[in-house]
Structure formats: structure tokens, C-alpha cells
Structure 1
Amino acid sequence: MTRLTKRELLAGSAALAGASIAMPAVLRAQAIVLRWADGQAMTHPSPQSAVKAAAEVKEKTGGRIDIQTFPAGQLGSSRDMVESVASGALTMVTEGAAQLGQFVPQLSIIEAPYLWRDPAHMTRALKSPLIDELNKALVEKRGMRVIGVTYYGVRHLTSGKRPINSVEDMKGFKLRVPEVDTFRAMAEAWGARPTPLNFSELYLALSQGAVDGQENPLPTIQSAKLAEVQKYLVLTAHIITPRLVIVNDAAWSKLSEADRTLVRAAIDTASAWQDKEIVTQENGLAESLGKSGMIVVKPDLESFRKPVLASLPAKFESKWGKGLWERIEAL
């Protein structure tokens, strides 16, 4: 069986999109193909929710709109996939807000450490005019649009060789972080050595000792099988993370208003399922991971929080915009 490379697949997608313009209208009407990528493994609720949304859209349109899903980073790194959506080679991607900060700097604030008091605070803010303002900037600057928001979970640390009881234990600790400046700044505030890596490289890096530990929500730690290569689960709860469903705005604009409404409704329904599933998993996963062999540590939370809040909001104020942190805190 011939296997396509990521480059060949994306090139083929672009060629098909161009060829469809020359097809007779009758053939074009047979199916509108939307390609939706995600870096998470198929065992995680995020790509599972994409499959659910795709099935609903296919059923309600009689197959006229075909959403094809590509989980597990099949189409490249987080940066690759976002750039592919910006260029139009890919239709949609589900990705963290901080990753999108490379395109619209203000967006990274909604995945900043210690910003959200709880998931309800995050949800309230992302249903406010704030998200409309950020979305407007994303459309104008990079031709992408947010059409869905999901709850990804509360992020915690893991460590391979030593327990982490306070921020003092982070000195010199090689911490894998996403390739995002706010995450690097957080690690540096803790005294750690930030090591940016794409998520698809994480398991191998941990197993080989290239990094000492990482940070992610519990469902991600579980679905990526990180308990196999990490001994300690450290419940720091340092970031409450939303993920955004992003679409190429030109492709989105080609859909009729009725079709856009239908697709968005399917994404909202699937996202609600995902959010509930993530919360359910979070409620029992610390205990479950402990039973599977990890040692669960409840650290001194204030020792982690204090150095980050003392430096990070001021450091990124020029990137996010003056007063935006305080405005979100007040919501």
C-alpha cells in the first residue's frame, strides 16, 4: 500500500481544491470536503469530538458535506497545522490558544498561567465580547476564524526521577513545554530549564531522559500513556486550558449561511460532549494514575504561583495589550 507523506497529502489537498473549481457544478455539488486536523491521539476526547461532529454533519446533509478528520498529528506539528489552515491547504484545526499567539499575539493570553480562577470563569470570558475582538484580529491578520471553543483541562506537572514538592525543586529541571513563549517564561520563573518540543516527540523524549518532565491536563497524560515513562504526578493546576477550533476563513465563507450554521451547531454539540467527558475524566484520573503506579504529589501551590504572577503579566503586557489581564480578571 502506498503511504502519502504529509507534504504530498497537503499538496494533493490544494490541487483537489483547485481542480474542483473547474468541475461542472453538478459534480461540485456532490460533496464539500473539509479537512480537520488535531495533534491529540484518537484515544483523547478532542479528536473523538471531531468525529462526532463530522458524523452529524454528514447525516444532516446527506453526505453533501464531508468532514475528514486527521488526529495524532498526522499532518504535522501544531505550528505546521495552524500554518496550513492559514494558507488554505487545510480547512480546520483544533489547537491551544497560546499556539495561535504566534499569529495574533493577544490570543495567547487566554492560555496564560494563573489567569483563570476556575473553568466557569474561563467559559464566561470566552462567551463575552472578548472572544469576538480576538476573533476579528485573527480574521483580519491571518485569514483564520474561531468557530468553536472547548475545555482541554487543568494542567499539572509530571516528573520522571524526583518528586516536586515546591518550586525550589524545579531548579535546573528540564521541563518540556509547548513551543510557546508564555510557557517558556512560566518555566523560567520556576527556575526550570524550558525545553520546547512538539507533542508528538514527547513520549520518546521522556523515555530517553532528554527531558525530566512535562506538563499537561490529566486526560492528555492518560491518553498519551505518559505514566509509562513518568514516576511522579505533581498536582500544580497551573493553567486552565481552552482549545480553539480554527477554520480557514476563505473556505468558511464559501459555505452557505445555512451550512455554516449547521456545521457550527454540530461542533457546539460535540464540544459540549467533549467538555463533559474531560471533566468526568479529570474527576477520577489522579486516583486512577496513582493506582497504575504513579506517585501523586500535592505540592506547595503558592510557591509555584507567586514567581509567575510577579513576572509574567508585566513581561507580556506589550504583547497582550495594556489592561487586558486586569479586564479578564474582573469578568
Structure 2
Amino acid sequence: MMKKNLLLLVASTMVLLGACGGEENTNENASDKGGNEEVYTLKLGTALAETDPIYQGLVEFKENVAEKTDNKVNIEIFGNGSLGDDKDIIEQAKVGTNVAVIVDAGRLAEMVPQMGILSAPYLVDSFDEANQVVQSELFKGWEEELSENHNLQVLSFNWYQGERHLLTNKEIKTPADLKGLQLRTPGAAVWTETITAMGASPAGMAFSEVYPGIQQGVIDGAEAQHPATYGANLHEVVDYITKTAHFQLVTGIVAGADWMAELPEEYQTIIYEEASKAGEKASNNTVDSLADFEQKMIDEGVKVNEVDIEPFKEATSVVYEKFEGYKELREEINKILGK
């Protein structure tokens, strides 16, 4: 019996040694093949609908990154706010979660206050001007501060969503007509101060809640750019779109700096390059689509009004007094733009 047990022990030991040897050979083979076999997944959230040129640009970004990395970097897109509120996604990104978000500078101003100037009223007049600013050394300095001090990495910030206008059931011709109205706007301070300066009361809520909010009378209206208005069907619950163009909405893709740093360097380079290319293309598509979105909404019954924007510019000029350094930053940006 003892001899039999000894033989079984020897046999078991040989099997274990063989198994260990097999694992070592497998690892050597994987190493010999070279390359990183790990697949990285980034969950990208946006409040936009699939009809929006920016959303379509994100799809192109996803496809190009997958192709260039041989499907080793997978970007999953979550539209209509389905990944959560922008602020919540940012907080997750800061602690290293594999998430990213399309976000405006007003939200990022909670961490780098100077960035909020990009969401200030009537700062720039077009995508070309906005793009000049976000490609400048001034903006690059803000990006570095965001990365080094807040663990957030800008992948590209050239995603232009269009001019934002007023959406109401009351006809608006001057800022005085906004008195007593409660309008939804993103919760960033520079946005709420702008709506207050225009004469309305700002109301913060998720963009996905705006349609029922207006329909049920919880709020009196909102402000948004044409592609987002159409994508959320907000033209169905308002009578008027007043073209104040108070914001030129330029946004960016922001992820966690730690998560990006974990990627192989070649993948990081691909992501930055493709984010910039897709952002520029999507922005130009946005510019080209604005008139079409406007006509579609007119055809479906909403009245689009052109107004004199000078009274709105004058009313909102006070916003630059509300935030430390904004007057000086505006002058610096005007120099960048050659104004």
C-alpha cells in the first residue's frame, strides 16, 4: 500500500510539473509574438441624440480608433444621457474609471476657473473663432492644469455644437420679455449668470428631462442649439425659437488622465489624433446642417424669430464682471482672434 501511494505521489508531481512547464511555454510564445494583447474599453457619454452631427462624429471616432488599434481600443457610445449626468461621469473619470464625456468648458471651470470664459456669452462669433481659441497656447495651459491637478485629460476640444437660442412658448423680442420665465440651462455658473443677466430665472435639470419639464409646465422653456433641440424634439413643446445666439457651444471629449496613461503610447497617440480629426469633421458637418435643422423644425410648426441681438449682448456684458479675471481673459482672447 505504501509503495502504491508513493507511486501515485510521484505521478501527481510529474503532472503538476508538466502543467507548470506548459504555462511557461505558453507565456514565452505570447511574448515572442510581441504586442499588447489586452483590449481596452472606454465608455463615452453624451446627452446628444443619434441625429446630431456630433454624435455621428463620435461614431466615426470610435470606428477609426478601432481600425487603427486593430480593435484593441473599443469605444462604447452612450447617447441621450444614458451613461449618466456629465458631472457624475467626470467624477468617475477623475478616480480612474474607464469613462469619458462630451462636455463644455463651463463644467470644467469648476476645476480650472479660467476655462469658463469659453462658455461666456458672445465671446466668439463662429466655429472658426472658437477653434482658434482652443488651439492656442492659452488653452493648452488650461489643459495641462486640468490633467496635472485634477486627473482629467482632454482628448480634443474642437467639437462645435452650434449657436444656442431661446426656446419658449412666449414670443421674445427683447430681454425684458424674459422677465418671470424659468429657463433650463446647464448648471455651470457662467451659464446660469448669463440667463439671469438676460432677464430669466435659470433652472438646472438634466437635458433628458427638458421635454416633459416644458410639457408639464415645470419650466417655461430652455436654451439650446438647433441639432440638440431637434434631437430632443423640443420644438414639439415650444411655440418659438428666438435666435439670440448667446452661446457658441464648443465642447470636448474628456477622460481620466490616469486611465489614458495606462494605455500603450501608440494607442494614446491614435486616440488624440483621431479625436481631433473627427471633431473637426463633425464640427463642419454641424455648421452645414444648422439651416436644415431649422427648416425641419419650421416645417413641423415652430416659429423661428430673428431678433436684434445687441440688447442681449448689452444685457449679458455684466457676466464678465461676475467672474474674476474674465475681463482680462476676454481681452487676451480678442488678441488671439485679431479683434
Query: Which residue pairs with 2:115 in the alignment?
Result: 107
2:97–2:259 Cα contact (<8 Å) kept: no
For each residue in 1:76-114, what CA deviation from the matched residue of structure 2 results, as whole angstroms up to 9, or x when unmatched?
A: 112111111112223321111111111221111111111
For each residue in 1:130-161, what CA deviation from the matched residue of structure 2 results, as whole angstroms up to 9, or x when unmatched?
A: 1111101101221011111211111111112x
CA distance in 1, matches of 2:44, 2:202: 30
One-letter identity of the residue aligned with 1:330: K
The 5 Å alignment of 1:148-227 reads: 148-149=156-157, 150-160=159-169, 162-227=170-235
How far off its partner does 1:43 sit?
Answer: 2.4
Query: Which residue pairs with 1:237 in the alignment?
Result: 245
How far off its partner does 1:329 sit?
Answer: 1.8
1:314 aligns with 2:329: no
Q: Which secondary structure does the structure 2 equivalent of 1:156 belong to?
A: strand
2:120–2:190 Cα contact (<8 Å) kept: yes
CA distance in 1, matches of 2:293, 2:49: 17
User: When the two structures are superposed, what TM-score results if normalisation uses the length of structure 2?
Assistant: 0.85
Query: Which residue pairs with 1:82 in the alignment?
Result: 90
Unaligned 5+ segments in structure 2 are 1-26
Unaligned 5+ segments in structure 1 are 1-23
CA distance in 2, matches of 1:118, 1:272: 13
CA distance in 2, matches of 1:297, 1:307: 19
How far off its partner does 1:249 sit?
Answer: 0.6
How far off its partner does 1:287 sit?
Answer: 2.8
How far off its partner does 1:217 sit?
Answer: 0.8
Query: Which residue pairs with 1:18 in the alignment?
Result: none
Q: Which secondary structure does the structure 1 equivalent of 2:255 belong to?
A: strand
Report the aligned-residue RMSD: 1.9
Q: Which has the larger radius of gyration?
A: 2
Query: Which residue pairs with 1:323 in the alignment?
Result: 328
CA distance in 1, matches of 2:97, 2:268: 19
CA distance in 1, matches of 2:78, 2:96: 16
CA distance in 2, matches of 1:234, 1:227: 12
Q: Which secondary structure does the structure 2 equivalent of 1:140 belong to?
A: helix
1:82–1:100 Cα contact (<8 Å) kept: no
CA distance in 2, matches of 1:61, 1:145: 20
2:41–2:98 Cα contact (<8 Å) kept: no
How far off its partner does 1:225 sit?
Answer: 0.7
Detail structure 1 runs of 4+ shifted over 6 Å in the superposition.
none
1:133 aligns with 2:137: no
1:35 aligns with 2:43: yes
One-letter identity of the residue aligned with 2:196: E
How far off its partner does 1:51 sit?
Answer: 1.9
How far off its partner does 1:273 sit?
Answer: 2.5
Q: Which secondary structure does the structure 2 equivalent of 1:323 belong to?
A: helix
Q: Which secondary structure does the structure 2 equivalent of 1:29 belong to?
A: coil
Query: Which residue pairs with 1:292 in the alignment?
Result: 300
